[in-house]
Structure 1
Amino acid sequence: MSQIDTYSHDVSGEKEFGFAQSIKVGDTIYVSGQLSHDAEGTFLYPDDLGAQLQQVWSNLDAVLRYHGVTRNQVALDTVFVVDLHENAAAIAASHLAYFGDHRPTSTTVGAAALFFPGQLVEINVIVDTRLPA
């Protein structure tokens, strides 16, 4: 039987909505949608896509660190973005900057709205720990 390990940022919303930031089952880590919030769970940078992306990647790094993996082990990411056509170039540039030479599979989905007013992006990933770090 596989050992299950979960991680939470311990921010508001996790308990109220009943989710963890990640769950590791065997060699796979499923990471919930990461968004732009601080350590207390306060949503940051409404309507500022660049700042939101920086915070999203930072929050994702915290999840990856907990599990002792790197961004090179991300096998799949899904990006949800408001105003997809207007924001596509910024999303692509940020994605390239974050992953460098690593190329995970990726899906980008346009969204009419996300949870918080002014929230423009949310990114979830699946990690395969068997990939080289």
Structure 2
Amino acid sequence: MSREVIETANAPRAIGTYSQAVKAGNVVYLSGQIPLIPKTMELVEGDMEAQIRQVFENLKVVAEAAGGSLAQIAKLNIYLTDLVHFPLVNATMEDYFQPPYPARAVVGVAALPKGAAVEMDAIVHLDE
């Protein structure tokens, strides 16, 4: 099976030794996104909701660059430095997803890159 690296200028560029996404067959593995603004590579200003929304926007443009959409996410992993934000994640997700929702895990972590409070990665299943 061939692999294709997915890259878009509309999402933050990789800040390490990874690709924004890799497509293998009809599955796309989206790397973790933190709430970076693509043009400035700085964390979005504002509250936790602004951070969550920026992460969803970053995932959205990478999924679109691969020929997919957020609606095609089969598995979503969310990492939070404070699980008190779990209800806010759920509420914000309703603006980006419709049922049936993707499978999901939410994990509390001690720290994230650049001092972010949230990071997400996902697996997209493209239509055949």
TM-score by length of structure 1 reads: 0.84
1:7 aligns with: 6
2:95 aligns with: 97
2:124 aligns with: 127
Fraction of identical pairs, as percent: 27
SS in 2 for 1:40: coil
2:29 aligns with: 30
Unpaired runs of 5+ residues, structure 1, are: none
Q: Is the 8 A contact 1:75 1:127 kept in 2?
A: yes
C-alpha distance in structure 1 between counterparts of 2:45 and 2:117, whole Å: 8
C-alpha distance in structure 2 between counterparts of 1:69 and 1:63, whole Å: 9
Q: CA-to-partner distance for each residue in 1:64-98, whole Å, 9 max, x for gaps? A: 111111222110000001111x1111011112221
Moved over 4 A (4+): 9-12
Q: CA-to-partner distance for each residue in 1:38-60, whole Å, 9 max, x for gaps? A: 22352323672111111111111
Aligned length: 126
Structure 1 segment 1-133 matched on structure 2, within 5 A? 2-9=1-8, 11=12, 14=14, 17-40=16-39, 42-45=41-44, 48-84=47-83, 86-117=84-115, 119-130=116-127
C-alpha distance in structure 2 between counterparts of 1:41 and 1:79, whole Å: 23
SS in 1 for 2:42: coil
